[in-house]
Amino acid sequence: MRRWRHPVGIVVLLLGLAVYALVMMWVGATQLPEQAVAQLAFYLVAGLAWVWPALRLVRWMGRDEG
């Protein structure tokens, strides 16, 4: 019975991604130097960093309880 994992996982994923995006936008707008290379590097890393936790969450959602 893994039906409860899907709604919980979707809510956590959506809320977590929204909070993560807001924090990364704040960091990018206020903490980064005005150098294009630094900003490019930050946004490349920040844009991909959410994939690993999201993948773990999706795997957890698909795991069987037993």
Cβ atoms 20, 50 nearer than 8 A:
yes
**Main-chain phi, psi angles of 65, to 5 degrees:** -90, 135
pTM (2 decimals)?
0.83
Reported for 44-53, long-range contacts at CB under 8 A and 24+ positions apart, including other chains, are: 50/17, 50/20, 53/16
Q: How does pLDDT run across 15-61, given as a tens digit for each residue? A: 999 999 999 999 999 999 999 999 999 999 999 999 999 999 999 99
Q: How many CB atoms lie within 10 A of CB 20?
A: 15
